[in-house]
């Protein structure tokens, strides 16, 4: 995308301002007008977009004669040496799953047939080395090609030249262009480079709020291992089976104490605040006036004041949400200035109020998790429309 | 994920989709973490840009797989890289955001030339023609 600045003049314009922008390449474009506002501030106008289509150029073909069997009679629909621009609506695209087609040097008859059928573009599913699952969309190495496709699998360039040759051959001999998938969202779980670059994926290390999700997942793995020992159905066939499993799943989830990732540790905090007050380690409260406010209002202020409550709803570790004792001491002193003997206890009551919504949120999340797990079991193993996977095991 | 907003990354905070088990897991894939830009994960951005540039030297066009789960700023960067190599790159995308307005946002910012849809999602002629 490119930008253009227009010159300013002092005279008020009575006609629309024209800006000629020669566009010399296809692609996505965005434009906007920026101008000085009434108060001297710079204002950016609304963005507009336009796309310019690419020009796809392919070998021209002689017209097809449909009175004969075009598949075997190659006298019509011949590929010429002359290239011409094809309107985008004139693209007839065939998808080919490369792994079912043999090596590159065995593709000829498939390309020939596609060409005789009038296609002018082939979409190839990813041609790269596949990961453990064998799906072309689970790519092991984005920079090299699948050796099982290559006549010379040991080529130093990873097969690049062989692929180029094949695409050129398909175009020149059969009039076929080539499209392929670009898979940006994910990579194979056993990718060649993932070990050296684990930061490429999401983990609790780089995305702390995933920590409880991993803890829950571990609990589910453990439950899976123990299904037989616990006398639970390993091959659920009925809703009753699912209900039994559902209960076991809930129990397993409860054991993980995920609620700790949400709430503040009230007894601990109350003790620490009591100690801080007694030792006069008090950071004076500098925010809005607190005296006379209700416990609910104080809870709201505690949550909303920047820098006061740490890791509120961060879910990064058990009891990650906390307030420094000295800060809390200052807060509670400002809220109950003449009632030294109840200050720590009142702090506890404020935290209890803060925790109410957090416990609600926790309950909602684990209930959702349990229902999703059971729902997935139902779909994968029970429902007529589903895959009916059978036995539950580590896989 | 069903009914996810494609403009929000469900692996990143504040989404709790993984904890709530709302993600449909493909056991053979690892979702890539692009962050807000190349500074967040330089090796990954460079690796995937090289991948796109290599493909752009040989192919006439791309099919963006799972476009609705790919962050828009990542798609823009990668397609731009491809278009620098092959200005006439044809770009089609597997895109179903569930909202025509969001589809439009992807189409105009990526410069998509066509969309790939699953034909069996059209139960009758009317639905089929809307795909």
Per-chain mean pLDDT for chain A: 89
Rounded to whole angstroms, the Cα distance separating A373 from A246 reads 8
For A52, the closest chain B residue by CA position comes to B111
| Torsion angle (degrees, nearest 10) of CA A195, A200, A206, A209 | -110
Q: Which residues of A touch B101 (CB under 8 A)?
A: none
Residue A360 structure tokens: 């609600």
Would you state the pLDDT for residue B2? 64
B115 touches chain A (CB under 8 A): no
Q: List the single best residue of A55, A127, A184 to mutate versus B (max B Cβ within 10 A).
A: A184
Looking at residue B32, the DSSP 8-state letter turns out to be B
- What is the sign of the dihedral through the CA atoms of A105, A108, A114 and A118? positive
**d(CA B95, nearest CA chain A) in Å:** 13
CA-based max dimension of chain A: 103
Would you state the pLDDT for residue A190? 86
How many CB pairs lie under 8 A apart between chains A and B?
199
Q: Are strands B90-94 and B114-116 parallel, antiparallel or unpaired?
A: parallel
Would you state the pLDDT for residue A383? 60
CB A28 to CB B111 under 8 A?
Answer: yes
Q: Rounded to 5, what percent of chain B is helix, strand, coil?
A: 45, 10, 45
Residue A160 structure tokens: 């690049």
CB A207 to CB B13 under 8 A?
Answer: yes
Q: Which residues of B touch A137 (CB under 8 A)?
A: 29, 65
Measured CA to CA in angstroms, residue A207 lies from A28, A134, A147 at distances of: 33, 29, 36
| Residues 6 or more apart whose Cβ sits within 8 Å of residue B65 | A126, A137, A181, A182, A183, A184, A185, B94
| Cβ atoms < 10 Å from Cβ of B31 | 19
Rounded to whole angstroms, the Cα distance separating B129 from B131 reads 6
Rounded to whole angstroms, the Cα distance separating A25 from A22 reads 9
CB B33 to CB A206 under 8 A?
Answer: yes
Rounded to whole angstroms, the Cα distance separating A375 from A370 reads 8
Residue A34 structure tokens: 């920026």
**Facing residue for B31 by CB, picked from A30, A185, A365:** A185
**Facing residue for B90 by CB, picked from A28, A56, A187:** A56
B6 touches chain A (CB under 8 A): no
SS3 B25: coil
Q: What tens-digit pLDDT sequence spans chain A (395 residues)? A: 445 555 555 566 678 888 888 998 999 999 999 999 999 899 999 999 999 999 999 999 999 998 889 888 889 999 999 999 999 999 999 999 888 888 999 999 999 999 999 999 999 999 999 888 888 888 999 999 999 999 999 999 999 999 999 999 999 999 999 999 999 998 888 888 988 888 888 888 888 898 998 899 889 888 888 888 888 887 788 888 888 888 999 999 999 999 999 999 999 999 999 999 999 999 999 999 999 999 999 999 999 999 999 999 999 999 999 999 999 999 999 999 888 788 899 999 999 999 999 999 999 999 999 999 888 888 877 664 444 444 444 43
Rounded to whole angstroms, the Cα distance separating A143 from A145 reads 7
Q: Using an 8 Å Cβ cutoff, are B18 and A315 in contact? A: no
CB A185 to CB B12 under 8 A?
Answer: no
For B111, the closest chain A residue by CA position comes to A28
Which runs of consecutive H residues, i.e. helices, occur in chain B? 42-58, 72-85, 100-110, 125-130
∠ Cα A341 A346 A351 (to 5°): 150
Rounded to whole angstroms, the Cα distance separating A165 from A108 reads 12
For A363, the closest chain B residue by CA position comes to B20
For B85, the closest chain A residue by CA position comes to A25
Residue A258 structure tokens: 């995920």
Rounded to whole angstroms, the Cα distance separating A163 from B49 reads 19
Which runs of consecutive H residues, i.e. helices, occur in A82-210? 108-116, 160-174
Q: Which residues of A touch B88 (CB under 8 A)?
A: 26, 54-57
Q: Which residues of A touch B22 (CB under 8 A)?
A: 368, 372
Would you state the pLDDT for residue A142? 93
A355 Cα distance to chain centroid: 30
Q: Using an 8 Å Cβ cutoff, are B65 and A185 in contact? A: yes
Q: Using an 8 Å Cβ cutoff, are A182 and B62 in contact? A: yes
Q: What tens-digit pLDDT sequence spans chain B (131 residues)? A: 766 777 778 888 888 888 888 877 766 788 899 999 999 999 999 999 999 999 999 999 999 998 988 899 999 999 999 999 999 999 999 988 778 888 899 999 999 999 988 766 666 666 666 66
SS3 A61: strand
B113 touches chain A (CB under 8 A): yes
| Element housing A124 (H / E) | strand A121-124
Q: Is the pTM here over 0.95, yes or no? A: no
Measured CA to CA in angstroms, residue A16 lies from A3, A7, A150, A313, A380 at distances of: 19, 14, 60, 52, 62
Q: Tens digit of pLDDT for each residue in A99-131?
A: 888 899 999 999 999 999 999 999 999 999 988
Q: List the single best residue of A185, A188, A262, A386 to mutate versus B (max B Cβ within 10 A).
A: A185
Would you state the pLDDT for residue A11? 64
């Amino acid at each position: 995308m490119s930008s253009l600045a227009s010159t300013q003049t002092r005279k008020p314009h009575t006609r629309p301002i024209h800006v000629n922008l020669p566009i010399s390449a296809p692609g996505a474009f965005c434009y906007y007008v920026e101008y000085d506002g009434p108060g001297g501030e710079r204002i950016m106008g609304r963005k507009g977009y336009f796309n310019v289509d690419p020009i796809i150029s392919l070998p021209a073909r002689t017209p097809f004669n449909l009175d004969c069997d075009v598949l075997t009679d190659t006298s019509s629909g011949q590929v010429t040496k002359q290239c011409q621009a094809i309107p985008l609506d004139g693209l007839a695209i065939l998808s080919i799953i490369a792994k079912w087609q043999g090596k590159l040097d065995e593709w000829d008859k498939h390309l020939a047939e596609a060409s005789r059928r009038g296609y002018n573009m082939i979409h190839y599913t990813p041609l790269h080395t596949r990961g453990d699952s064998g799906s072309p969309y689970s790519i092991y190495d984005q920079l090299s090609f699948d050796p099982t496709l290559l006549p010379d699998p040991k080529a130093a360039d990873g097969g690049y030249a062989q692929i180029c040759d094949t695409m050129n051959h398909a175009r020149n001999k059969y009039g076929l262009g080539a499209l392929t998938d670009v898979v940006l969202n994910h990579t194979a779980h056993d990718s060649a480079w993932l070990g050296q670059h684990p930061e490429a994926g999401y983990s609790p290390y780089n995305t702390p709020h995933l920590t409880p999700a991993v803890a829950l997942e571990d609990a589910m793995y453990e439950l899976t291992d123990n299904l037989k020992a616990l006398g639970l159905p390993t091959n659920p066939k009925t809703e009753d089976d699912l209900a039994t499993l559902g209960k076991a799943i809930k129990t397993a989830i409860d054991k993980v104490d995920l609620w700790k990732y949400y709430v503040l540790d009230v007894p601990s905090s109350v003790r620490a605040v009591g100690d801080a007050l007694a030792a006069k380690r008090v950071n004076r409260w500098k925010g809005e006036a607190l005296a006379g406010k209700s416990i609910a209002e104080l809870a709201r202020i505690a949550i909303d004041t920047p820098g006061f409550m740490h890791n509120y709803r961060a879910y990064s570790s058990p009891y990650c949400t906390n307030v420094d004792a000295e800060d809390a001491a200052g807060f509670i002193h400002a809220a109950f200035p003449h009632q030294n003997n109840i200050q720590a206890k009142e702090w506890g009551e404020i935290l209890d109020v803060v925790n109410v919504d957090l416990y609600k949120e926790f309950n909602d999340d684990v209930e959702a998790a349990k229902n999703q797990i059971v729902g997935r079991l139902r779909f994968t193993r029970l429902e007529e429309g589903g895959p009916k996977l059978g036995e539950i095991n580590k896989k | 994920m069903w009914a996810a907003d494609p403009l929000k990354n469900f692996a990143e905070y504040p989404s709790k989709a993984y904890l709530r088990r709302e993600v449909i897991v493909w056991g053979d894939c690892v979702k890539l973490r692009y962050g807000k830009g190349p500074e967040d994960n330089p090796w990954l951005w460079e690796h995937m840009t090289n991948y796109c540039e290599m493909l752009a030297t040989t192919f006439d066009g791309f099919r963006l797989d799972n476009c609705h789960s790919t962050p828009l700023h990542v798609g823009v960067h990668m397609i731009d890289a491809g278009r620098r190599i092959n200005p006439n790159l044809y770009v089609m995308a597997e895109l179903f955001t569930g909202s025509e307005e969001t589809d439009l946002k992807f189409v105009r910012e990526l410069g998509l030339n066509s969309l790939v849809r699953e034909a069996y999602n059209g139960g009758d002629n009317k639905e089929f023609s809307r795909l």
